[in-house]
Structure 1
Amino acid sequence: MLVGNSFSLINTLMVGRLGDSAIAVVAAVGQIGFVLSMILTGVYGITAFITQYHGKGDKHSLQQAFALMLLSSVTVTLVLVAVVFVFKSSILRLFINDPGAVQYGAHYLTLLLLVYLINSVKDTFASALGAIGQVKATLMIGLVSMSINAGLDYVLIYGKLGFPEYGIAGAAYATLVASVVGGTALIVYVYVRKVSFHLTFRSLTSLKFAFVKRLYRTTLPLVVHEGLWSVGNMLYAVAFGYMGVTALATFQLARTFNGYFMMGIYGFAYAANVLIGQKLSRKEPDEAIAFARKFTALTIVVSLFVSVAIAALSPYIVMLFSQTSGEVQTAFRHVMLIQAVLMLAYFLNNVWIVGMFRAGGDNVYTLKLILVTTWLIALPLVLAGAYLFHWPVEVVYVMFALEEVSKACIGYFRYRSNKWANNLTQSGSESDKAA
C-alpha cells in the first residue's frame, strides 16, 4: 500500500514545482481516475469469494471467480475510457475555468486513459494475489515500478539527460511506462509460478450463468456503493474547483497526503479481509469475530500514532511545495491539522468496511451507509459552503470530513452486531440452514 500510494505522491511532488495551476490540472484529471478506481474496487469485491474459495481449497471455483473479476474489470474500464475520451474537454471544464489549463490537461488525460486500461488488468492480478495472502511479489514489482516512475518523472517533466521538457505530460508518460513494466512482470510471475488462480482461455469462456449471478448478487451492491461514493467525491472536487485554483490545489494536496498517511490502515484492512474471510469460509465465525475485535483495537492505537505524526510533520510537508502560493501553503497546513484530529474515523472506517464487512459480503449495508453519509450529510454541506455561504477552504474541508465521522459513528453499531460475519462459499440450501 505504501508503494501504491507513492505513485500519486511522487507525481504530485514533481508536478507541484510547476505551480498551482499544474496541481489543479492533476486534481481535475485525478478525479476521473478516482471514479474508475473506486468502481473497480467494487468489482474487486469478488476477492471476498477468491479468499474464501482459497481457504476452502476449491481451485475450480477460485479460477472461475478470478476470470469473472478480470472480464468485469476490463469491460468497465473500456466503457469509461471510451466515454471520457469523447467528452474529455467538457469533463475538465467542470473543474477548471481556464481554457488554457483545460487544453493543457486534455493531453495529460489522454495519456492516462492508456494507463487506466493497463491497470485494469494489472490491478486485477494484484488484488487476486493479495486475496490469497501472496503479497511479496506485488511488493517487489511495485518497488521496481515506483523507482522507474520516479526516475522518469524527473527526466521527462523537467527535460533532464537530453530529453525534451514535457511538463505535466511527462508525469503521464512516466506513469504509463511504469504501469507497462509492472503489469507485465506481475502477469509473468503468476503464470511462471502457476499461482492457483492462473487462467486458461477456456476458463474465461466457460463461466456458468448461475455462478456469475451468485457472485454478482453480492458484488453489485459494492459496485454501486463505490460508484456513488466516487461520484460524490468528484462533486466535492467540483465544489472546491468552483472556489478557485487555490481551493482545488489545496484539496488535491490534502487528498494525496491523506491517502499516504492512511497506507498503514489499508494494509491492516486487507490483512483483516484475508484472515477473517478464511475463518468465515471454514465456518469459524467466532474466531472471525475475535479477529475483528483485535484488528479494531490495533487500529485505534495506530491511528493515534499517525495523528501525532501528521501534526508534527505538517510544517515540513508544506515546505515541499514552496513553489505554490502562500494561500495554498497556509490552507494546506490547516487542512492537515484537521486530518490529524479526524484520523481515527478514517482508520476505523477502512478496517471495518474493507476488512470486515466486505469479508462477509455485507455490501448492501455499506451501500446504505454511503447513501446516508455522503449524499445526505457531507455533500449537501460542502455544496452549501462553496456555492451559497462562500466559507473558507478549511471550513468546507471540515464539512467534507464529516462524511468519515458520521460513517464511523453509524458503522460502529454494524460492527458490534456481527451481522457482517457471513460464509460466502455455502450453497443456497446451506445458507438457509445456517440462517
Structure 2
Amino acid sequence: MRQLIHDRGFYKTFAALTLSLALQNLLTYSVNLADNLMIGQYSQQAMSAVSLCNQFQFFLQMLVTGVAEGVIVLGAQYWGKNKLAPIRDIIGVGLRFGLAIASVMFFLALTIPDTLLQAINNDPVITEEATKYLRIVCFTYLLFTLTHTLTASLRSIGVVKVGYVLSFSTLCINITLNYCLIYGNLGFPELGIQGAAIATLTSRIVELGIIICFLSWKEKTLHLSVNNLLHIDTSFIHDYIHVALPLLITQATWGIAQIVQTAIIGHLEDASSAIAANAIAVLVFQIISVVGYGAASAAAILTGKAVGIGDLLLLKRQTITFQLIFGALGVLTGLGIYSSTDLVLNFYPTLTPETREIAVQFIAVMAITSVGTCYQMASDVGIIRAGGSPSFSMKNNTIFMWGIVIPAALISAFICKLPAVAVFFFLKSDQLLKAPVIFYYTNSYKWIRKVTRE
C-alpha cells in the first residue's frame, strides 16, 4: 500500500480528466448508437450496411488516433517541462500527417466504394445499401480528422472540456436530422440510409466550426492560429516521426485487422445475422467501456507529464496505482456489459430470432474479454506508449493480432466450420492473451524514455 499514490489532489485530477474524457467518449459513441438504433428500426439490412461503412470510419479513426497520440506523447512531456512553444509546431506536424491520410481514404471511398465493400461482405443487397451511405459519409473524413486531431492535441495540456461540448452538439444534431431524414418526419423527404449519412455529414461540419471558434476566442494557453499551424519549425518533423511512426503502424495494423475481422464475419454462412449481431455487441462494449478508455487517456496525460518532469519515484507510484484502477474498471465493465444484454436487444425490434440469439452470444464474449481489454489496453496506452515506448506496443499488438488472432479465426471459420460465437471469441481473444505480457513489461519500467529535446 505504501507504493500507491496517497495524494488526494492526484486522484481529483485523475478523476476529473477520466470523467471528462469518458463523457466525451460516451457522447461520441452515442452518436453511433443513435445511428445504429434509428437505422436499425428502419431495417436490419440498412443497419448491417451502416455497420460495414463504419469499418472504414473506424480505420480512419485508428490512424488519426495514432497521429494524435504522437502529438499527446510529445506535447505532454513538453508540458511537464513547462515548454509550450514546441507543442504548436508538433500539432502543426500532426495535422499534416492526418490530413494526408484522410485525403487518401476520401478518394478511395468516393471513387471505388463498391469494390471496398465487396471485399468485406458477400451480400449484394447490403453492398448496394452501403454504397449509398459511403458515397456521402466519406466527405466527413477530412472534417473529422481536423476536429479530432485538434481536440486530442489539447489534451496534452489538460484541456478536455471542449471535447464533450463537440460530442454533445454532434449527438443532438445527428438525432434530430436522423429523425427527419431517415423516416421523412416534419415535412422532410424519407431518405433512409442516405438520410443518416447526410445527418452525420452535417454534424461533422458543425463540430469543426465549434473547435475553430474555441481556438479563436477561448483557448488562452497555446494561442493556436491558422498562421502558426501553417508556419512551423520543420525540424520537429523528425522528432514527431520518431514517436508517431510506431503509433501509426500500431493503429494501422489494428485498423486493418478490424476490417479483416469484419470480412471474416461477413463471409460466414449466415453473414447478414452475424454482421448485425457484431455491430450490436461492439457498440454495447463501446458505450459501457467509456470510463476505461477515459482512464487510459487520463493516465497518458499524467504519465507523459511525470516523464517530462523527471520524477521517477512519482512515475512508479502512479504506474502501480493506475494498474489497480484499470483492473477494477475491467471487472465492472464486464459485469455491466453482461447485465445489459436484454435491455439493449429490446431496442432492436426488427432483429430476426437467429440474429438475436447470435447477438446474445457475442455480447457474452465481449463481457468476458473486456476485463482484459480494460487492463492491458489502458496500461499500453496510458503508461507504456505515454512513457515513451510506442515501439513495444507496435510489436506486441502486431504479433498477437496477425500471428495468433487472425490465423485462429480463419481456421475456426473456414476450415473447422465452427459456430459464429466461437469465431467471434477467437477474434477477441488477444484482449486476454496480451494481459500477462503487458503486466510484465509495465512493471519492468523499461518503457520510461524522454522523447523531448533537452
- Is 2:216–2:225's contact at 8 Å kept on the other side of the alignment? no
Identity of aligned residues (%): 24
CA distance in 1, matches of 2:319, 2:443: 10
SS in 1 for 2:348: coil
- What root-mean-square deviation, in Å, do the aligned CA atoms of Structure 1 and Structure 2 show? 1.5
SS in 1 for 2:446: coil
Q: 1:36 aligns with which of 60, 75, 82?
A: 60
Aligned pairs, number: 427
Q: What is the aligned partner in structure 2 of residue 179 from structure 1?
A: 204
Q: What is the aligned partner in structure 1 of residue 365 from structure 2?
A: 338
Q: 1:202 to 1:141 in 2, by over 3 A?
A: closer
Q: What is the aligned partner in structure 2 of residue 279 from structure 1?
A: 306
Give CA deviations for 1:191-249 in whole Å, capped at 9, x if unaligned: 20244334344434443443211210111011011101110111000000001111111
CA distance in 2, matches of 1:50, 1:141: 22
1:381 alignment partner AA: A
Normalised to the residue count of structure 2, the TM-score between the two structures is: 0.91
The answer to whether residue 272 in structure 2 is matched with residue 234 in structure 1 is no
Write out aligned runs for 1:19-168 (5 A): 19-45=43-69, 46-168=71-193
1:85 alignment partner AA: L
Q: 1:366 to 1:242 in 2, by over 3 A?
A: same
The answer to whether residue 387 in structure 2 is matched with residue 360 in structure 1 is yes
Give the stretch that moved more between structures: 233-242 or 303-312. 303-312
- Is 1:125–1:187's contact at 8 Å kept on the other side of the alignment? no
- Is 1:154–1:160's contact at 8 Å kept on the other side of the alignment? yes
Q: 1:343 to 1:99 in 2, by over 3 A?
A: closer
Q: What is the aligned partner in structure 2 of residue 293 from structure 1?
A: 320
- Is 2:330–2:374's contact at 8 Å kept on the other side of the alignment? yes
Q: 1:6 aligns with which of 22, 25, 30?
A: 30
CA distance in 1, matches of 2:320, 2:72: 22
Give CA deviations for 1:304-340 in whole Å, capped at 9, x if unaligned: 2222222222111111112111111111111112222
Give CA deviations for 1:366-398 in whole Å, capped at 9, x if unaligned: 111111110011111111122222211111111
1:160 alignment partner AA: N
Give CA deviations for 1:128-177 in whole Å, capped at 9, x if unaligned: 12222111222223212211111211221111111111111111111111
SS in 2 for 1:417: coil
SS in 1 for 2:190: coil
- Is 1:81–1:113's contact at 8 Å kept on the other side of the alignment? yes
Q: What is the aligned partner in structure 2 of residue 388 from structure 1?
A: 415
Q: What is the aligned partner in structure 1 of residue 5 from structure 2?
A: none
Give the stretch that moved more between structures: 240-249 or 124-133. 124-133
- Deviation above 6 Å: which 4+ runs of structure 1? none
Q: 2:39 aligns with which of 11, 15, 18?
A: 15
Give the stretch that moved more between structures: 79-88 or 113-122. 79-88
Unaligned residue ranges in structure 1 (runs of 5+): 428-435
Q: 1:161 to 1:312 in 2, by over 3 A?
A: same
1:424 alignment partner AA: V
The answer to whether residue 352 in structure 2 is matched with residue 325 in structure 1 is yes
The answer to whether residue 219 in structure 2 is matched with residue 190 in structure 1 is no
CA distance in 2, matches of 1:195, 1:24: 44
CA distance in 2, matches of 1:48, 1:195: 21
The answer to whether residue 293 in structure 2 is matched with residue 269 in structure 1 is no
Give the stretch that moved more between structures: 220-229 or 40-49. 40-49
Unaligned residue ranges in structure 2 (runs of 5+): 1-24
- Is 2:121–2:266's contact at 8 Å kept on the other side of the alignment? yes
